Amino acid sequence: EAGVAQSPRYKIIEKRQSVAFWCNPISGHATLYWYQQILGQGPKLLIQFQNNGVVDDSQLPKDRFSAERLKGVDSTLKIQPAKLEDSAVYLCASSLMASGDTQYFGPGTRLTVL
């Protein structure tokens, strides 16, 4: 069974530029999560989708971050404009349903903002 796929694996941008990350969850998984992991800390949930609807985006900085999950499969997370403090690893995870199922994580995208 293929795992959660993410691309790109690494991205370096200048501050105020925009960037987008892509995630393809495990086939059949209805729930998709985006986490931000700053160096030395545990991952922090940014947004949770159930199919193509948003369940929780309370910690998403909506003035600069946006995410979508069209057709309830792939998802894209965008940052525009990026700030220095956005340097982090962005992790995508998926689970079969929301109801307490195990979350499976992708390898993450490491973003460096200069």
User: Which residues here bind other proteins, judged by CB under 8 A?
Assistant: 4, 31, 33, 40-45, 48, 50, 55-56, 91, 93, 95, 98-108
C-alpha 60: how far from chain center: 10
- Closer to other proteins by CB, 12 or 55: give it: 55
Task: Return d(Cα 54, Cα 40) in angstroms, integer.
Answer: 28
C-alpha 90: how far from chain center: 5
CB of 38: closest distance to other proteins in angstroms?
11
Task: Return d(Cα 78, Cα 61) in angstroms, integer.
Answer: 11
CB of 1: closest distance to other proteins in angstroms?
14
CB of 11: closest distance to other proteins in angstroms?
15
